């Protein structure tokens, strides 16, 4: 007899009862137990057909039906009954008992074989599943590795490209900074010297005629002594004003209202120098005329030191006037950092 459990619709046998001693045994212990149990069993010597354990033979003799009616002696018998061996037991067993025993053994073996086949099938199925899982994992591992290598190459290429781009941008930035520095220096140089050339001959002749007849002043371009500084303008009368009219050129420097006056000091006193450039053929032989002047605020009436006078005889003595052109340069401040040319 065997006991079992049902797993996934399958009958799994786990224990089997011994047909000799009726003990419950695990499937793995059946064969060993049967060998031991047979050695410990014997056939009733009274030939009643019972198979009993050797240790229980005396107890069976007291209840054996074949022993009823036999004379018993209280004295112990000196005759030793040799227990039959395993071959004798097999001979004394009936054919039906032997067949039943063999059928039980065969049934147990078949059950064991069926269980082993089912276990083998389960193991094969699990191995196939594991092999499939291993193959899939191996393929994915290869793909992931290839992706990592490709990403590494891509990142390295991007890094090198970005490094080249950064190097190029740095070179461009360096060139831009140099260009900016050069522009700033040129702007500073232009702020220090402002050239004003009037190409309108009709306007020049008209201003000259008005200056000659109405004592008006020709006005130059507006400039500053430094960035966000005072706004200045050079005024010139080629024929003079008042007493000196017709014999001198008069020049003055005027401070005009500007957008940054709130940031500047008032009242102010700006010293300047007006230079009449000598247009000699050889620059080394040029002798410019320098006249110190104090800039006046627009609307101020005091003319002391606010105008400079240059006689006409001196203007025409050298190359100050050439091709009807006269150059005036203004240096503002003690260091002469800013100037204007008319």
Instruction: Evaluate if residue 82 carries a pLDDT over 70.
Output: no
Domain limits for position 112: 101-193
Burial class for 326, CB neighbours closer than 10 Å (0-12, 13-18, 19+): middle
Domain with residue 230: its CATH number is 2.60.210.10
Instruction: Give the count of beta carbons closer than 10 Å to the beta carbon of residue 307.
Output: 22
- Do 203 and 324 fall within a single domain? yes
- Do 235 and 334 fall within a single domain? yes
CB 253, CB 225: distance < 8 Å: no
Instruction: Evaluate if residue 182 carries a pLDDT over 70.
Output: yes
pLDDT at 71: 42
Among 166, 193, 220, give the residue marking a domain's end.
193
With H, G, I as helix, E, B as strand and everything else as coil, classify residue 67: helix
138-142's contacts with Cβ under 8 Å and 24+ in sequence apart are none
pLDDT at 188: 64
Among 46, 71, 100, give the residue marking a domain's end.
100
Kindly give, in sequence order, each residue whose CB lies less than 8 Å from that of residue 250, ignoring residues fewer than 6 positions away. 217, 236, 237, 240, 241, 244, 307, 308, 309
- Do 140 and 185 fall within a single domain? yes
pLDDT at 289: 93
- Do 318 and 258 fall within a single domain? yes
- Do 270 and 218 fall within a single domain? yes
Domains contained in the chain, number: 3
Highest mean pLDDT, choosing among 55-59, 99-103, 136-140: 136-140
> If you compute the radius of gyration of the chain from its CA atoms, what whole number of angstroms results?
67
- Do 170 and 201 fall within a single domain? no
- Do 331 and 206 fall within a single domain? yes
Instruction: Evaluate if residue 17 carries a pLDDT over 90.
Output: no
Place of tokens 């039980």: 104
- Do 278 and 321 fall within a single domain? yes
- Do 322 and 233 fall within a single domain? yes
- Do 129 and 189 fall within a single domain? yes
Among 136, 163, 193, give the residue marking a domain's end.
193
pLDDT at 335: 39
Kindly give, in sequence order, each residue whose CB lies less than 8 Å from that of residue 212, ignoring residues fewer than 6 positions away. 238, 239
Task: Determine if the pTM surpasses 0.85.
Answer: no
pLDDT tens digits for range 128-168: 999 999 999 999 999 999 999 999 999 999 999 999 999 99
With H, G, I as helix, E, B as strand and everything else as coil, classify residue 262: helix
Centroid of chain to Cα 99 = 84
Instruction: Evaluate if residue 236 carries a pLDDT over 60.
Output: yes
- Do 146 and 14 fall within a single domain? no
Pull the structure tokens for residue 108: 């147990």
- Do 160 and 213 fall within a single domain? no
pLDDT at 318: 84
pLDDT tens digits for range 272-306: 999 999 988 888 888 999 999 988 887 666 555 57
How far is residue 254's CA from residue 239's CA, in Å, rounded to a whole number?
19
Average pLDDT over residues 314-342: 72
Instruction: Evaluate if residue 255 carries a pLDDT over 70.
Output: yes
pLDDT band at 171 (very low <50, low <70, confident <90, very high): very high
């Amino acid at each position: 007899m065997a006991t079992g459990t049902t797993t996934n619709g399958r009958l799994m046998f786990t224990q089997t009862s011994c047909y000799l001693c009726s003990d419950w045994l695990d499937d793995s212990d059946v064969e060993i137990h049967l060998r031991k149990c047979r050695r410990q069993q014997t056939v009733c010597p009274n030939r009643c057909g019972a198979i009993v354990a050797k240790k229980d033979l005396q107890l069976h003799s007291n209840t054996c039906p074949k022993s009823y009616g036999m004379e018993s002696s209280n004295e112990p018998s000196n005759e030793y009954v040799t227990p039959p061996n395993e071959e004798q037991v097999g001979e004394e067993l009936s054919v039906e008992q032997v067949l039943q025993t063999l059928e039980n053994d065969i049934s147990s073996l078949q059950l064991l074989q069926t269980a082993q086949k089912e276990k083998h099938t389960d193991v094969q199925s699990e191995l196939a599943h594991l092999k499939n899982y291993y193959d899939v994992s191996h393929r994915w591992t290869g793909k992931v590795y290839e992706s990592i290598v490709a990403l590494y190459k891509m990142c390295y290429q991007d890094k090198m490209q970005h490094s080249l781009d950064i190097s190029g941008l740095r070179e461009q930035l360096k060139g831009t900074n140099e260009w900016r520095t050069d522009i700033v220096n040129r702007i500073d140089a232009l702020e220090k010297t402002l050239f004003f050339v009037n190409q309108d001959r009709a306007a020049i002749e008209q201003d000259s005629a008005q200056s000659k007849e109405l004592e008006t002043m020709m006005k130059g371009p507006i400039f500053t002594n430094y960035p966000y500084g005072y706004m200045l303008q050079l005024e010139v009368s080629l024929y003079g004003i008042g007493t000196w009219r017709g014999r001198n050129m008069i020049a003055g420097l005027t401070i005009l209202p500007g957008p940054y006056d709130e940031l500047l000091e008032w009242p102010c006193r700006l010293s300047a120098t007006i230079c009449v450039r000598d247009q000699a053929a050889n620059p080394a032989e040029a002798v410019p005329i320098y006249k110190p002047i104090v800039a006046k605020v627009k609307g101020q009436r005091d003319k002391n030191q606010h105008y400079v006078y240059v006689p006409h005889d001196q203007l025409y003595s050298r190359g100050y006037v050439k091709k009807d052109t006269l150059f005036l340069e203004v240096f503002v401040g003690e260091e002469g950092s800013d100037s204007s040319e008319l």
